[in-house]
Structure 1
Amino acid sequence: MNFKKILIYNFLLAATMQLHGQSALPPAWNGIHSEQLQRDQRTRVYPPPTRIVWKEEGGGASIQGEANLLRPGNGQTDLANTSICVMKSSVNGHPSLLLDFGKELQGGLQLVTGMPGSQKPVNIRIRFGESVSEAMSTTGIRGATNDHAMRDFTLSLPWLGVAEVGNTGFRFVRIDLLDPASELQLKEVRAIFTARDIPYKGSFSCNDEQLNKIWLTGAYTVHLNMQEYLWDGIKRDRLVWVGDMHPEVMTINTVFGYNEVVPKSLDLIRDITPLPQWMNGISSYSIWWLLIHRDWYLYQGDLGYLMQQKTYMEGLLKYLLTKVDANGREKLDGNRFLDWPSSENQPGVDAGLQALLTMAMDAGSELCHLLKNDSLAAQCAEAAGRMKKQVPDANHSKQAAALMALAGLMDPVTADKEVISVGGAKNFSTFYGYYMLQAMGKAQNVQGGLDIIRTYWGAMLDLGATTFWEDFNMEWLPNAAPIDNLVPEGKKDIHGDYGDYCYKGFRHSLCHGWASGPTSWLTQHVLGFKVLEPGCKVVKIEPSLGDLLWAEGTLPTPQGSIFVRHEKLSDGSVKTTVKAPKGIRIIK
């Protein structure tokens, strides 16, 4: 599925989308050679709004022709001055419009103005929002902020001109005319959607349309965060959080295949974190850097890139070895963190870190063999063996139980039955939900995983989400209104009323790449793609349809995409069809 088709699906636009390519630079520009200038790998697309959500005309103010803003535009002001939206204020009344662009976007806004009688600049207020209620909010109230990206500000618009503004994550935009007794003519108000123009090489389809939408929403969530670097969020957390990257990288492996944003981001966090510092100040995040490299190499098979990490990787592993005591217990310092919802369960965090460091030692042994350092590989393997003799209590933490199952510290079936599946989607989290699902898959409980994906991630879609959120709690659901309309009287505002820790109220990000776990999980466990050798040279196909009647899809590899289709027959058996490129060995 290519990039333009995804945009059409996402925005439901019939208009032709205008793409702006990158022009060549002269050999030198202002004394700076072209090779010294960073080149942006992204493309800009200009979708118009899909609907007018709300307008305000009180106190003598008026708005006429707002439907003209829903038409495709060309970004060019002109003297014809037709098909104009006219906003007029009075001494006491100021008109406002709330626009819906149909889908979460990363980027800004382009405003094309007409030519009213006065040629003076007109002052407006712009409020971006990931929800309707956030676009209607005021900074400083209920968590609404301008942190990381400006989303609430004033702007002067020219007479008969074009203004481009904004760089944030949003779906909704509110425009207020601030000047009294003035007129604003708007020919166009288009989003500036900024993203990498890359094909969706991976795919997933089955007889359950909700699961299809969940898979695609996870893919799109990560796509939005693949900016010049791989971010965690496009409104807030526009940063390289390396721990948060792991689910995103697995989604990239599943959907896009190789993309330079991954090594670019891994190298950035490495270069700004000299040892013995922890990446992002969090000990577990340095561990995730190792695990990402292990999985990136498994899918992409680029040994040359892995060898570039040799000095830092060996230094990090030697430092991590000092955090394992003689009895095999982890002694990690720095910020001891798994994810936010688990942060108050200290015994659970301790158990999770024991598992995570065990996983690092196993991965370290594997990586050091590839790096031709057999001595360090043996040290890591010996430490992993010691650590697996220490089995802490997960303390009912689904995060800890999942990691323990994946690390070999806990039987996956026991972890699933006694902790992870207890209460269904209750106490799931968007970040560690991926590892909970992975542990359920390891326990052969794919049906349970499907049920939780439908319940937990499906609930976000039911509330109007077009990307997956930084956090979600099933306890938020009762009496909650969707995010794509004004909150009715007596209903709870799921964006403004909820959230916790660093994401209270409107500060809560509704597009967070770490929440994309179901995308890669469905490909791995339902379609059954198990990569066994680096570069996908050997792939095992081991499907598990659960209650599905059929499923099909593709996995991108360095040799091309593998296609599978599974059909459940009347006797309960599954018929599988596989098409693979040359150079890939398929095991069924």
Structure 2
Amino acid sequence: MRAGLGGAALAAAGLTFGAAGTAAADSAGHGAPQGTTDWQRYVQGPTSRTVRPVSVLRSSGAVTDPKALLAPGGGVTRLSRPQPPQPPRWPAGTTAAASSSHAPNSGDDGRPRTYDAANAIDGDPDTFWNDDTIAAYPDTLTVTTAAPLSLPGVTLLSDADGVPTDFTVETWDGSAWQPAATVTGNTSVRRAVPFAATVSTTRVRINVTADQSTPQGEFTRINEVYPGLLPDDDVPRVVVDFGKVVVGYPHVRFSSASDNSPGVRLAFSETVQFLTDRSDFTRADQSGVASQGTDQFAVPAGGADWKDTKGYQSGTQVYADGLHGFRYLQISLDALASDAPAAQPWGEVSVDEVWLEFTAYLGTPDSYSGWFLSADDDLNRYWYGAAYTNELVTDTFRSDDIDPRGADSPTLDGKLVLQDGAKRDRDPYVGDLAVSARTLYLTHDDAAAAARNVLADLADHQRSDGWIPPASINGYTLPLFDYPLWWVTCSWDYVLHTGDRAYASGYYPHLTKVLDSWYPSVTDGDGLLSKGLNGTSGYGDYAFLGRSGQITYYNANYVQALTDAASIAAYLGNSADAARWSTRASTVAAAINAHLWDAAAGAYLDSSSGPARHAQDGNAIAITAGVADAGRAASALAHLDATTVLPYGNAFMDNDTIFDGASQRVYAFTSYPELVARFRSGRADSALDQIRRTYGWMDTHDPGITSWEGIGPDGSLYEGAYTSMAHGWSTGVVPALTNELLGIRPAAPGFTTWSVRPRPGSVAWARGQVPTPRGPLGVDWQHSGQGAFALTVRVPRGTRGSVAVPTDGRTVSVHVDGRVAWNGRKAKAYAARAEDGYVTLDGLTAGTRTVAVHPAA
């Protein structure tokens, strides 16, 4: 802790902090942080930037002493492989034809890549046939020889992201096709398919009826069909587990190698499910480099200390992708055929050390300026797991590490930013900041520049018509409809937490332009935003949903953005703008209630046109933005309870009319505003239940600890291997628990004023602190129920605020520092008043204040 003495020092001094007693900090609110240091045991970050694997998950082939990889100086791990025999070739004159073939495109080197059937018999395993039927089965590949060939079977070598799952093999008997073999449930990249008896034939036909699914669809991708049965793959492999998702540059130290330049291939994955001979994701997949999903290295005979960085080792051969986000690392003695002779798929290598150079924010107990602890161990784990997730995405923007799809930007290079995810997308998107920046401010305020850098850079790339880009991807041109609204809200969040007046005034013209120029250009006659106006029919949103016209989510977000803009205007003394934007917010809110409320369902429609559906995003933000009154809020949340509750969270749609499976998909990004809506609508326990289902599922499923980008049907990874398992936009459990359960929120820029309003639900106690520009603001409360509540707030100098304590529906008396402030009927101090199940006290100033609530006699 940077604020002074820890809990152990307090205990040594005979002082405690909490309901049982209070250790008085000095009148400035500095000094010893509240509570003990028990929270520190939940911190997940590594202790240093050198991170080592914690276990060997498995090994296969000729591997000796794989556990030597776990500690330096513990011996060496040897991987050995004899030179493999050349696989059989089809005789001269053999041809291949397919039911369909994908059109050519260009690789990263600018040369065209073809995907026709001939690639499956050309003897080059780096090329492949790619069908173009997009799951319209069967996909058929036919091989024809000039003369009869005697075959005991065939062997299929597939591309790792297009493995044929179910297929049959047929042979031609001169007049008809005859079945030779049937394969179901295949997951192997190399699959030998024996025939019942050796067949003499001139034609072989492979009929694929199911493929391994990829995020882009289902494709058959066969690299080679060999005329015969190849022996089992003898590639030596060892898989190490780093225990949790980590991010940075892998290092492998080779003590020696044979003198034939043996190749090593590294494959990375965040989950065991997608740990194969291909990484679950590499940027090379997007840039077009022919790396086959792994990072390659040719080991010199004298050994090497190899840091995996982006680029080629030898000319245009032996490519590595550099930085990775992953939990599991597979090391194989193998090489791409196209990398010969620079790297060979055989020989011997000795490895004496593997580690990761961790590049992200290093979150240690000493770096946490805000913390949280409660009576519920699960909630504590989820809070720190999400905080660690956010640390993984807080990193320096580097051209070699970011999304290769036109995201590099000289105005961001070298700056601290909040990326989307640890493995992907490594580009800062402003919508993600709506959650991840709040998490950052509440945990590591020394990194707040990561949010400012992104917000300022996007504003600096504002389009002439006022639209603000969502990210640097595609040269700041990706057309999203909702993200300029998030830029407004995130700007207010930043100013509110930091008090950065220079940012507020410097980017006020950009704020004015986006709200007074661009959004009015997409406003219809009902006063609502309508996607499709002004050429926006092709614009996307956070999930690239096919939504058009009047959408509750867009318009509720608009109300929130206008309200936040009015707050910035008032802060800067621009009262006319503040009044105008507040008036427009009220007008839009009224239009939402008039045109988008579905009285029959008791919830807001997703869209005013098309099939009736009700979305989590629109209904939740309508509540948090103040569009919904108490009655509509209760009704909308009841509808979500009845239609979206799943074992792994709440679905973001109540039916599948927008796409198949929508009612089974959970986004923690859109779940966050629903959590806030539930807390603020007096439904704390339903919020806690949703947290436990959403974050409990992620916490207890591979890779554990970190927060996923999205959850699909039955709790699956919603986009397969492509899914980011450590995504900043999913960390809303941190602000939900700190701002709502613990109850601390800023009320004015820089926390000059603040509010503390705990919403305990069934949680017996909670404590923690948030960083402010004037020092930490700490809260410690205990809820005994039946009107008994004890709270201590540690207030930094130069701030003042209000405290609201729950009454459990009873008549209570409230004491502040031992003196009566509310006697059960009227105020005695602090302008005390009873309202909405709370007694609210105003004007608490610097120092340690204790508030005690007792049932009235």
Normalised by the size of structure 2, how large is the TM-score?
Answer: 0.57
Task: Give the C-alpha shift of residue 244 in structure 1.
Answer: 1.7
Match of residue 63 from structure 1: 63
Task: Give the C-alpha shift of residue 447 in structure 1.
Answer: 0.9
Equivalent of residue 401 in structure 1, options 582, 598, 619: 619
Which amino acid is 2:731 matched to?
A: S
Match of residue 108 from structure 1: 249
Cα displacement string for residues 324-348 of structure 1 (whole angstroms, at most 9, x for unaligned residues): 345422235535555429x35668x
Task: Give the C-alpha shift of residue 248 in structure 1.
Answer: 0.6
Task: Give the C-alpha shift of residue 537 in structure 1.
Answer: 1.5
Structure 2: distance between partners of 1:400 and 1:336: 18
Structure 2: distance between partners of 1:355 and 1:586: 29
Match of residue 248 from structure 1: 436
Match of residue 30 from structure 1: none
Equivalent of residue 262 in structure 2, options 101, 104, 122: 122
Asked whether 1:444 is paired with 2:682, we answer yes
Structure 2: distance between partners of 1:143 and 1:426: 30
Matched-pair contact (CA < 8 Å) for 1:144–1:505: no
Q: Kindly tell me: are residues 312 and 87 of structure 1, through their superposed partners in 2, closer, same or farther at Cα, counting changes over 3 Å? A: same
Normalised by the size of structure 1, how large is the TM-score?
Answer: 0.82
Equivalent of residue 83 in structure 2, options 67, 88, 91: 91
Which amino acid is 1:131 matched to?
A: T
Cα displacement string for residues 115-169 of structure 1 (whole angstroms, at most 9, x for unaligned residues): 34x3453311111111123231536x99997337986232223333211112121
Match of residue 457 from structure 1: 695
Match of residue 574 from structure 1: 789
Task: Give the C-alpha shift of residue 225 in structure 1.
Answer: 0.6
> What stretches of structure 1 of length at least 5 have no aligned partner?
19-44, 74-81, 478-493
Task: Give the C-alpha shift of residue 194 in structure 1.
Answer: 0.9
* Between 355-364 and 442-451, the greater mean CA deviation after superposition: 355-364
Match of residue 562 from structure 2: 361
Match of residue 51 from structure 2: 47
Q: Helix, strand or coil for the counterpart of 1:380? A: helix
Asked whether 1:268 is paired with 2:457, we answer yes
Alignment of 1:161-560 (within 5 A): 161-165=304-308, 166-178=322-334, 179-197=344-362, 199-228=367-396, 229-258=417-446, 259-276=448-465, 277-280=467-470, 281-319=479-517, 320-325=519-524, 327-332=526-531, 333=533, 334=536, 337-340=540-543, 343=545, 350-390=551-591, 391=593, 392-393=596-597, 394-395=604-605, 396-411=614-629, 412-419=633-640, 422-424=643-645, 425-427=649-651, 428-464=666-702, 465-473=704-712, 475-477=713-715, 494-495=716-717, 499=718, 504-560=719-775
Matched-pair contact (CA < 8 Å) for 2:69–2:77: yes
Match of residue 488 from structure 1: none
Structure 2: distance between partners of 1:72 and 1:580: 48
Counting strand residues as a fraction of each chain, which structure ranks higher? 2
Cα displacement string for residues 484-531 of structure 1 (whole angstroms, at most 9, x for unaligned residues): xxxxxxxxxx44xxx2xxxx3211111111000111100011111122
Structure 1: distance between partners of 2:485 and 2:726: 24
Task: Give the C-alpha shift of residue 368 in structure 1.
Answer: 2.3
Cα displacement string for residues 539-578 of structure 1 (whole angstroms, at most 9, x for unaligned residues): 2211122111211111111111122111122645221122
Cα displacement string for residues 423-466 of structure 1 (whole angstroms, at most 9, x for unaligned residues): 43331422111111111122111111111100111111111322
Q: Helix, strand or coil for the counterpart of 1:99? A: strand
Match of residue 36 from structure 1: none
Structure 2: distance between partners of 1:67 and 1:582: 54
Q: Kindly tell me: are residues 133 and 327 of structure 1, through their superposed partners in 2, closer, same or farther at Cα, counting changes over 3 Å? A: closer
Q: Helix, strand or coil for the counterpart of 2:483? A: helix
Task: Give the C-alpha shift of residue 237 in structure 1.
Answer: 1.1
Cα displacement string for residues 169-217 of structure 1 (whole angstroms, at most 9, x for unaligned residues): 1111111101455111101011121122461211111121111110011
Q: Kindly tell me: are residues 170 and 180 of structure 1, through their superposed partners in 2, closer, same or farther at Cα, counting changes over 3 Å? A: closer
Higher relative contact order (CA 8 A, sep 6+): 1
Structure 1: distance between partners of 2:281 and 2:372: 38
Structure 2: distance between partners of 1:321 and 1:285: 15
Structure 2: distance between partners of 1:387 and 1:239: 32
Matched-pair contact (CA < 8 Å) for 1:130–1:172: yes
Task: Give the C-alpha shift of residue 245 in structure 1.
Answer: 1.4
Structure 2: distance between partners of 1:263 and 1:446: 32
Structure 2: distance between partners of 1:508 and 1:262: 24
Rg (Cα) greater in structure? 2
Matched-pair contact (CA < 8 Å) for 1:358–1:387: yes
Matched-pair contact (CA < 8 Å) for 1:321–1:380: no
Structure 2: distance between partners of 1:310 and 1:213: 39
Structure 2: distance between partners of 1:6 and 1:65: 35
Structure 2: distance between partners of 1:542 and 1:467: 28
Counting helix residues as a fraction of each chain, which structure ranks higher? 1
Q: Helix, strand or coil for the counterpart of 1:147? A: helix
> What stretches of structure 2 of length at least 5 have no aligned partner?
3-38, 85-233, 309-321, 335-343, 397-416, 471-478, 598-603, 606-613, 652-665, 804-857
* Between 223-232 and 574-583, the greater mean CA deviation after superposition: 574-583
* Between 444-453 and 319-328, the greater mean CA deviation after superposition: 319-328
* Between 408-417 and 549-558, the greater mean CA deviation after superposition: 408-417
* Between 365-374 and 160-169, the greater mean CA deviation after superposition: 365-374
Q: Helix, strand or coil for the counterpart of 2:586? A: helix
Structure 1: distance between partners of 2:426 and 2:453: 15
Matched-pair contact (CA < 8 Å) for 1:202–1:255: yes
